[in-house]
Amino acid sequence: MQWIKEWDYCVFGRDNALTTRTNVNTNGFGRALPPKPKSTDKWKRPDKRILLLSGPPGLGKTTLAHVVAKQAGYATIEINASDDRTVSKVRDRILGVTQTHAVGLHGSTRPQLLVIDEIDGAAQAQSSQGDFISTLVSLATADESSGDKAKAKKHPPAKGKFGPLLRPIICICNNVYAPVLRPLRQVAQCYQIHAPTAVQLAKRLEEVCENEGMAADAWSLMALAKQNEGDIRACLNSLQMIRAHSSALGADHLRGNNIGIKDVQRSLFAVWDMIFTRPSAASLQRAQPAQKSSYSEMLLEAVQSAGENERIMQGCFENYLRMDFRDLTHTKVASLCTDWLEFYDFVDSACRKNPSVAEPLYGYLHYPILAIHRTCSTALGLASGEFEYPHSEYAAFQARQVATSIIQSLAAGCTSVRARATCTINSVATSLLDPLLHIISPTLMTANKQLLKGGEKDRLMRLLDVMSSWQLTFVQSKETDGQFVYKLEPPIDRLFAFADRRPARNILPMRYPVRQLVAQELERMRMARIAAKEEMQNGKKGGSGGAKEAAKREYLDKLFADPLANAIQAPKSKDVPMDEDGEPLIKDFFGRLVKRKTKQTGPKEATPGTNASASGGRHEAGKSKMWFHFFEGFSNAVRKPTQMKELFE
Amino acid sequence: MALWVEKYRPLTLDKLTFHTDLTGHLRQLATTGDLPHLLVYGPTGSGKRTRISAVLREIYGPGADKLKVDQRVFETPSRRKIELNVITSSYHIELNPSDAGIYDRVVVQDMIKEAAQTQQVSASSTGRKFKVVVIHEADALTRDAQHALRRTMEKYMSNMRVILCCSTTAKIITPVQSRCLLVRVAAPTSDEVVEVLNAVAKKEGISVPPEFAVRIAEASKRNLHRALLMLEAASVRQYPFDGAQEIPIPEWEEHLRIIARSALHQQTPAQLMAIRKQLYEVLAHCIPSTTILKTVALQLVEHVDQALKPEVIHHAAFYEHRLQSGQKAIVHLEAFMARFMSIYKRYLMELV
């Protein structure tokens, strides 16, 4: 009401007279709002241009909107789900309603107020003009920009664009958190309408009964109200139905033929709370005067109606251990686990494996929950904040997925077919992975190949052999803190580490330069191998690389020029001597370059069709020139003709 | 090849070192020119695969070693596509249907029919009319897949032989078992493992102190595959060996030991919660749930009092069975841990 009144200035040109009228609300909601700061808008409109009413069905939201509008002197125009809700039509209507000062529908001169009912049903209709909600939002926010313009020009903005919104809009929905409404929520004034208490509702129902000349005692009305969980419409409907065949409302009506029992959907958290809370005897009495059912039946019903059985069960599983067990020998937990959680898993897996026989089994899926309630519930229930939404199962699943993919990539990289045959996920995870990691992490003291002693050299060779046979490499990457690191690829070391233990005992302790060395040596080996293969092929074909390949080659060169320049910015490269003296360093530098290339051409090699062109192309490359940039944009760039052969040495 | 395990894998029946009796039988089978369906079973790392490939080589000659990896796509009745790596030579097909999960029935049927419908082209050269389909990890086959095998094994007998390779026959349905010749490959004794280790070390040119070899053999639990990997890992770690050198244990096993220790240390729901977290992590490392259960149970048995041992083992077996029929491994693992805690706690209280 207050919100509506805030529109007064804008619409009627009169001052906001807030307290003149009291809110005469049919349903007995009294909303006392804190006085809001005065709007600074030039039309003196409220800050939020749209009112969003939300609440469960049957509480009288629509009625409220209409009553309020009438009270405030508006003519209401309603758009609801039964109307056409294509974007363009709605837009026209909204524009028509909100921007005209013209006379209303039936010749009345009252200004109009738009009520958009059931807005959460507004589908995210895909249309070229954007969907319904965004239209509304843009409408509500339009005036910020266009307002000034309008002020300057002193005439209404052109049609098609949204002018400032000059009439109130009330939107009504059931679930304010529906994803469709997200953008709207930010611009709208939201009010949640709560169910009235049973007493309030019963009073109201009593009035209705009096008007209808129906005898009803307060107690059964209360019961009716409770049964419907505050849904006024449902109450009235069932009252009318009872009225149809008797003139008095008695307890037997309510109990007997299940009138007016709604399927109530509870949120998952509410259900979990019910499961873990043991009701006190008194509250049980109070809660269930009409139905004689026990708490567990009620619980069962709640669980059944909530639907997401799987989720509920998962939540129970993940949280039941947090409950306070008074049980010295731990037997409660054990029996619960064994008997009920496992039972659930049985039934569930049986259902999944064989959907055709699942029908009769589904019924049993709810009962383990009752068992959990019996063992775990406490009078306190869940202490707030303690209950966690179940996600660890999913997290574990994801982690497993990642691990599986890593193992698969490892197996795919295995060059020996015979070894590959033994690479199943289980066998790799259990027996191969750990030793392999140990094997590829020898101790190397220096990163300079020339300084390696005899034993170390052997170790390096061995390492290279193993790593190349599994196609493992180190790949340079940049950490978040700007450090360059070489990471193992595929990252099988990730499978090795367990979170709460110290990171892999001296596994892969190799420092950056050592890894760099290894990576380069691996590259070199690979290149040598490819070159040998090439030699063979070329020998067969007699060097049939045509002009086409040469062109392709050139293209590739150009393509890589840029990434190369970036890749070369290793910390060392700054002081790389430009002449031939720094042989190892220059090799380093080119080694990485070469790597990039093989990566690109690698896949092509694999397919026999393009094989010829790729290798032929490489052959051509021996004659082409290359450019390198150190730190792009700096003057110390290098341009130097190089032969591929030099790089292979 | 790079890893010693692969590098020194014997390729022919002659080079197999242990189980000489068995090798002799296999050779006889192979040389007669005909072969029944085989079901080779035994613990991991006892040389099942090696023996199978050696037999194939014996039958078909060196051609059976020319392997290539194919990626096949199978379509399930529900139109889902499964990709599976299949290793083939011109004489045989090796597949691991457990990678296909619950759709392994389709894979088995398709592959076997395909193999069976084409006759051996080079029959004249080798004198063998049949192809061989090797199914690894056959104990992971679902019931459906095994039932699908039953009929095909008989129907296509003329063109094809099946070699099933698994670690236990318990999970193979009896009709399939009865159609096969059962070949048990036992784990090598510690001495035999040591022998192989020494032979490999000699070829690599390193010297292994005898006590160290024995320790590796014991640590590997007579799993040759593992023993060789351990030897190689240890040699990378520290060479020359000294007898007391630490043998690297797989990290996950270490982790499971910690879990067992924490269960012995304290028996509360909070502890169980912590254990659950750790179990999740091990599961996320792709360690099979039965292995987890087994390892933890054995660890526990090692540390509890004599009187409790049978009970713990009994429960381990009980939950292992449940693990098989259920779906969420974590529930059953946790149930086992909870049960153990309960038993242990009660025992401790009686003691006081």
Domain boundaries, chain A: 1-18+42-144+162-192, 198-256, 268-389, 394-535
Provide the CATH number for the domain formed by B251-351 in this structure: 1.20.272.10
Residue A446 is predicted with a pLDDT of 61
Residue A503 is predicted with a pLDDT of 47
Best mutation target, B103, B331, B339, to test chain A (most A CBs within 10 A): B331
Cα distances (angstroms) measured from residue A71 to each of A32, A129, B212: 17, 35, 95
Give the chain A residue nearest B93 (alpha carbons).
Answer: A421
Contact status, residue B264 vs residue B308, Cβ threshold 8 Å? no
Q: Does domain A198-256 have CATH number 1.20.140.10?
A: no
Its sign, for the CA torsion A127, A130, A133, A139, is negative
Best mutation target, A339, A376, A434, to test chain B (most B CBs within 10 A): A434
State how far the Cα of A114 lies from the Cα of A102, in Å rounded to an integer: 15
Residue A423 is predicted with a pLDDT of 65
B285/A417 Cβ within 8 A: no
The pair of three-digit structure tokens given for residue A538, joined into one six-digit string: 């070329």
Contact status, residue A33 vs residue A191, Cβ threshold 8 Å? no
State how far the Cα of B179 lies from the Cα of A319, in Å rounded to an integer: 49
A499/B6 Cβ within 8 A: no
Q: What angle do CA A589, A594, A596 make, to 5 degrees?
A: 105
CA distance B198 to chain A (A): 19
Contact status, residue A452 vs residue A444, Cβ threshold 8 Å? yes
> What 8-state DSSP symbol labels residue A633?
T
Residue A410 is predicted with a pLDDT of 74
State how far the Cα of B19 lies from the Cα of B49, in Å rounded to an integer: 14
Q: What angle do CA A223, A227, A231 make, to 5 degrees?
A: 110
Its sign, for the CA torsion A580, A584, A589, A592, is positive
**What is the complex's ipTM, to 2 decimals?**
0.72
State how far the Cα of B34 lies from the Cα of B28, in Å rounded to an integer: 10
State how far the Cα of B249 lies from the Cα of B256, in Å rounded to an integer: 12
Give the chain B residue nearest A462 (alpha carbons).
Answer: B2
Residue B12 is which amino acid? T
Looking at domain B4-184, what is its CATH homologous superfamily?
Answer: P-loop containing nucleotide triphosphate hydrolases (3.40.50.300)
Q: Which of A203, A212, A290, A210 has its CA nearest to residue A244?
A: A212
A421/B49 Cβ within 8 A: yes
- The larger pLDDT score, comparing residue A406 to residue A6, is at A406
> What 8-state DSSP symbol labels residue A195?
P
The pair of three-digit structure tokens given for residue B57, joined into one six-digit string: 């080589």
Contact status, residue B129 vs residue B119, Cβ threshold 8 Å? yes
- How many CB atoms neighbour CB A548 within 10 A? 11
- How many CB atoms neighbour CB A102 within 10 A? 9
State how far the Cα of B194 lies from the Cα of A259, in Å rounded to an integer: 81
Beta bridge partners of B10: none
A436/B3 Cβ within 8 A: yes
For residue A642, how many C-alpha atoms fall within 13 Å in the half-sphere facing its CB? 21
Give the chain A residue nearest B53 (alpha carbons).
Answer: A418
For residue B284, how many C-alpha atoms fall within 13 Å in the half-sphere facing its CB? 22
A426/B236 Cβ within 8 A: no
Q: Does domain A1-18+42-144+162-192 have CATH number 3.40.50.300?
A: yes
Contacts of A419 in chain B (CB under 8 A): 1, 3, 5-6
The pair of three-digit structure tokens given for residue B66, joined into one six-digit string: 């020319």
Contact status, residue A393 vs residue A314, Cβ threshold 8 Å? yes
Domain boundaries, chain B: 4-184, 190-237, 251-351
> What 8-state DSSP symbol labels residue A128?
T
State how far the Cα of A622 lies from the Cα of A197, in Å rounded to an integer: 87
- DSSP assignment of A235-253, as one string? HHHHHHHHHHH-SEE-HHH
State how far the Cα of B348 lies from the Cα of B352, in Å rounded to an integer: 7
Cis link prior to B240 (omega < 30° from 0)?
yes
Residue B10 is predicted with a pLDDT of 78
Whether residue A79 is predicted with pLDDT greater than 50 in this model: the reply is yes
Q: Which of A25-39, A483-497, B303-317 has the lowest mean pLDDT?
A: A25-39
B286/A403 Cβ within 8 A: yes
Give the number of A-B residue pairs with CB atoms closer than 8 Å: 203
A261: left (phi over 0), alpha (psi -120 to 50) or beta: beta
**What is the full per-residue pLDDT of chain B (352 aa) written as tens digits?**
467 777 777 777 777 777 788 888 888 888 876 788 889 888 888 888 888 888 888 888 777 777 777 777 777 777 777 777 788 887 788 887 777 767 777 888 887 777 777 765 555 555 667 788 888 888 878 888 888 888 888 888 877 888 888 888 888 888 888 888 888 888 888 888 888 888 888 887 777 788 888 888 888 878 888 888 888 877 776 666 666 677 777 777 888 888 888 888 877 777 887 888 888 888 877 788 888 888 888 888 888 888 888 888 888 888 888 887 777 788 888 888 888 888 888 888 887 7
The pair of three-digit structure tokens given for residue B230, joined into one six-digit string: 């351990």
Label residues B218-247 b or e (16+ Cβ within 10 Å = b). Answer: eebebbbbbbbbbbbbbbbbebebeeebeb
Q: In what order do the strands lie in the sheet with B160-166?
A: B68-75, B81-88, B92-95, B131-135, B160-166, B38-41, B181-184
User: Which pLDDT band, with edges at 50, 70 and 90, does A128 fall under?
Assistant: very low
Backbone angles phi, psi at B184, to 5 degrees: -95, 125
- How many CB atoms neighbour CB B259 within 10 A? 23
Nearest to A334 among B229, B286, B342 (CB): B342
- The larger pLDDT score, comparing residue A391 to residue A43, is at A391
A322/B273 Cβ within 8 A: yes
State how far the Cα of B34 lies from the Cα of B199, in Å rounded to an integer: 34
Tell me whether strands A484-489 and A473-478 are parallel, antiparallel or unpaired. antiparallel
Nearest to A418 among B6, B102, B233 (CB): B6
Contacts of A345 in chain B (CB under 8 A): 326-328, 331-332
Burial class from Cβ neighbours inside 10 Å (0-12, 13-18, 19+) for residue A631 reads middle
Contacts of B331 in chain A (CB under 8 A): 317, 337, 341-342, 344-345
Nearest to A435 among B232, B284, B291 (CB): B232
Place of tokens 């000659």: B61
Residue B309 is predicted with a pLDDT of 87
Contacts of B234 in chain A (CB under 8 A): 438
Q: Which of A415-419, A516-520, B24-28, B129-133 has the lowest mean pLDDT?
A: A415-419
* CA A270 to the chain's CA centroid: 22
